């Protein structure tokens, strides 16, 4: 099995730069290459700027600022020969099969035989990517699909092709597991693999439905975030994070590779507003802003959201949805019940129905009835005990009856009386939620 000592990443965008950072976090040297710029201060401007951005991003892609020193920025035209010393070459350029294939030809000429090449494609099947490539390349090629942000999201989808050698898959899976801390999930070579096969459809349906239902971006994200058990970025916040300009490519790629009868085709269209936003540079956090942005030239850095109908930015408004308030208190079933009386759809601002003070709910009435029936049916002695709530002589209280003896439970924490049960901290939805939520760069995009 090859040892991974040096890595190269092609594409210094949202994913490529962050993947390079995470490889550097494992103490590995990385070459980060992007297209050569002829009009900047250096031909490697794109990759140099990407490394600078890594130092400012939140949540931080680098575990320590000094890890940035392990990343060598460069450009493909001048520095591709350097990949000859790399054991793993990761391609993370724009989601276009033609551009990826052209790059693979360049990589094949420059790399050392036996080095592993992988693509971070979100949607393009491996068979399509290597269709025109020789066996020597295809044997070393696989898909390693990192999720955004790569340092924090543990899932790594790995896909091998019919021609991929087993050893290459094992080398990378082992390295990703042990050195990058990833949970490797092997996927079949299908469009979107596992996560995006579901995720892209979910995103697209949500965006279209929110627009058609006349929701604000805040309302859509409030419903499609925490109440659904996903990070509070919801849908529009997530699109800002991944980059709006990625969407036409992934949607097009899914449409090109999914069978005709797939339900995806019914939702495959690009809303005019999103087209306009991309054309004007509003590509999300990496651009001038997205569905959310920080007000330009505002020292107070006020947050703004786009109006999905007019396309104008306005100050963000907290979503006031009865369903979300209910979900926060009682879980996902509540929103359904809260909104059911109101024509089976979300009701903006309508308060939850309240019972008059002291009145019982139907469930409480039902429970009380069952209890009184049982008490009535119980033998007289048992009834007396139950009504007086007395403990039978010699029996331990319920909380203690269910505990093992102290010896079996091990030593008691200092300062706590024996038999006292510590309350467990209430688990948060997930640590990742918190991290993803705070992923707004310091520069406000
Ligand atoms: N953005 C996400 O959240 C995300 C998540 C998982 C996977 N991906 C996948 O990762 C890949 C990169 O996505 P991204 O969001 O980082 O894109 P991006 O647009 O942020 O970055 C792409 C980079 O590729 C460079 N590039 C463009 N054409 C090139 C070429 N011909 N040769 C070399 N470099 C070229 C660009 O200069 C840019 O720096 C895509 O395949 C995408 O589907 C993206």
Q: What is the CATH number of the domain that holds 278?
A: 1.10.1040.10
User: Do 150 and 254 lie in a common domain?
Assistant: no
How many whole angstroms separate alpha carbon 438 and alpha carbon 443?
13
Q: pLDDT per residue over 85-99, tens digit each?
A: 999 999 999 999 999
User: Do 172 and 245 lie in a common domain?
Assistant: no
User: Do 122 and 30 lie in a common domain?
Assistant: yes
User: Do 41 and 139 lie in a common domain?
Assistant: yes
User: Do 141 and 226 lie in a common domain?
Assistant: no
Question: Does pLDDT of 61 surpass 70?
Answer: yes
**Banded pLDDT at 30 (limits 50, 70, 90):** very high
User: Does 29 fall in a domain?
Assistant: yes
Give the pocket of ligand 1 (CB within 6 Å): 10-16, 34-35, 46, 76, 92-95, 99, 103, 120-122, 147-148, 242-243, 246, 250, 286
Question: Does pLDDT of 354 surpass 90?
Answer: no
Q: How far apart, in Å, do the first and last CA atoms of the chain sit?
A: 42
End position of a domain, from candidates 268, 290, 315? 315
Q: pLDDT per residue over 95-113, tens digit each?
A: 999 999 999 999 999 999 9
End position of a domain, from candidates 265, 294, 315? 315
User: Do 239 and 148 lie in a common domain?
Assistant: no
End position of a domain, from candidates 315, 334, 356? 315
User: Do 209 and 283 lie in a common domain?
Assistant: yes
User: Does 371 fall in a domain?
Assistant: no
Listed ranges 42-56, 320-334, 346-360; the one with the highest mean pLDDT: 42-56
Q: pLDDT per residue over 372-420, tens digit each?
A: 776 666 655 455 555 545 555 555 544 444 443 343 444 333 333 333 3
Indicate which CATH number applies to the domain containing 14: 3.40.50.720
State in Å: Cα 104 to ligand 1 middle: 15
How much is the average pLDDT of 129-140? 98
Maximum C-alpha span of the chain: 95
User: Does 182 fall in a domain?
Assistant: yes
State in Å: Cα 121 to ligand 1 middle: 9
Q: pLDDT per residue over 221-238, tens digit each?
A: 999 998 888 888 999 999
User: Do 209 and 280 lie in a common domain?
Assistant: yes
Contact 86, 111 (CB under 8 A): yes
User: Do 217 and 281 lie in a common domain?
Assistant: yes
Question: Does pLDDT of 217 surpass 50?
Answer: yes
User: Do 170 and 216 lie in a common domain?
Assistant: no
* Protein residue whose Cα sits closest to atom 32 of ligand 1: 35
**Percent share of the chain, pLDDT over 70:** 77
* Protein residue whose Cα sits closest to atom 1 of ligand 1: 242
How much is the average pLDDT of 334-340? 61
If one residue of 20, 93, 158 were mutated to test the ligand 1 pocket, choosing by the most ligand atoms within 8 A of its CB, it would be: 93
The atom number, within ligand 1, closest to the CA of 286 reads 20
State in Å: Cα 112 to ligand 1 middle: 24
User: Does 174 fall in a domain?
Assistant: yes
Joined tokens for residue 414? 């200092």
Mean pLDDT of the chain: 84
User: Does 89 fall in a domain?
Assistant: yes
What is the structure's pLDDT at 420? Answer: 36
How much is the average pLDDT of 178-194? 97
If one residue of 9, 10, 12, 13 were mutated to test the ligand 1 pocket, choosing by the most ligand atoms within 8 A of its CB, it would be: 13
User: Do 118 and 212 lie in a common domain?
Assistant: no
How much is the average pLDDT of 331-355? 56
User: Does 346 fall in a domain?
Assistant: no
**Banded pLDDT at 291 (limits 50, 70, 90):** very high
| Among 100, 110, 112, 34, residue whose Cα is nearest residue 73 | 34
User: Does 137 fall in a domain?
Assistant: yes
What is the structure's pLDDT at 352? Answer: 52
| Among 271, 272, 279, 295, residue whose Cα is nearest residue 208 | 271
| Among 106, 119, 101, 308, residue whose Cα is nearest residue 219 | 308
What is the structure's pLDDT at 356? Answer: 64
User: Do 83 and 169 lie in a common domain?
Assistant: yes
Q: How many domains does the chain have?
A: 2
Provide the residue range defining the domain that includes 236: 195-315
User: Does 74 fall in a domain?
Assistant: yes
State in Å: Cα 96 to ligand 1 middle: 9
């Amino acid at each position: 099995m090859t040892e991974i000592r040096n890595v190269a990443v092609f594409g210094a965008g949202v994913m490529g730069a962050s993947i390079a950072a995470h490889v550097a976090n494992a103490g590995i040297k990385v070459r980060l290459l992007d297209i050569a710029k002829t009009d900047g201060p250096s031909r490697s401007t794109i990759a140099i700027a990407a490394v600078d951005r890594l130092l400012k991003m939140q949540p931080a892609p680098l575990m320590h600022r000094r890890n940035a020193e392990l990343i060598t920025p460069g450009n493909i035209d001048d520095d591709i020969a350097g990949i000859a010393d790399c054991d793993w070459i990761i391609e993370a350029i724009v989601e276009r099969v033609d551009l990826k294939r052209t790059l693979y030809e360049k990589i094949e000429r420059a790399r050392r035989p036996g080095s592993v090449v992988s693509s971070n494609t979100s949607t393009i099947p491996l068979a399509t990517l290597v269709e025109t490539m020789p066996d020597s390349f295809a044997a070393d090629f696989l898909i390693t699909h990192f999720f955004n942000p790569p340092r924090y999201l543990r899932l790594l989808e790995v896909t091998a092709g019919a021609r991929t050698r087993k050893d290459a898959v094992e080398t990378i899976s082992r390295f990703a597991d042990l050195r990058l801390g990833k949970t490797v999930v092997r996927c079949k070579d299908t469009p979107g693999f596992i996560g995006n096969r579901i995720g892209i459809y979910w995103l697209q349906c949500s965006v279209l439905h929110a627009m058609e239902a006349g929701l604000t971006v805040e309302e859509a994200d409030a419903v499609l975030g925490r109440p659904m058990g996903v990070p509070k970025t919801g849908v529009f916040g997530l699109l800002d994070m991944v980059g709006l300009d990625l969407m036409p490519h992934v949607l097009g790629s899914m449409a090109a590779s999914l069978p005709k009868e797939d339900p995806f085709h019914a939702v495959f269209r690009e809303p005019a507003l999103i087209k306009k936003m991309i054309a004007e540079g509003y590509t999300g956090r990496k651009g001038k802003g997205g569905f959310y942005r920080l007000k330009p030239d505002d020292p107070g850095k006020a947050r703004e959201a786009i109006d999905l109908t007019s396309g104008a930015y306005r100050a963000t408004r907290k979503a006031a949805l009865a369903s979300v308030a209910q979900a926060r208190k009682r879980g996902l079933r509540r929103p359904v019940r809260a909104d059911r009386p109101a024509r089976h759809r979300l009701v903006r601002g309508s308060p939850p129905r309240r019972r008059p003070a002291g009145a019982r709910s139907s469930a409480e009435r039902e429970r009380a009835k069952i209890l009184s029936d049982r008490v009535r049916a119980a033998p007289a002695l048992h009834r007396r005990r139950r009504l007086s709530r007395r403990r039978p002589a010699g029996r331990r209280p319920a909380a203690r009856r269910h505990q093992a003896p102290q010896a079996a439970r091990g030593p008691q924490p200092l300062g706590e009386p024996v038999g006292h049960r510590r309350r467990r901290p209430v688990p948060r939805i997930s640590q990742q939620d918190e991290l993803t939520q705070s992923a707004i760069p310091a520069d406000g995009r």
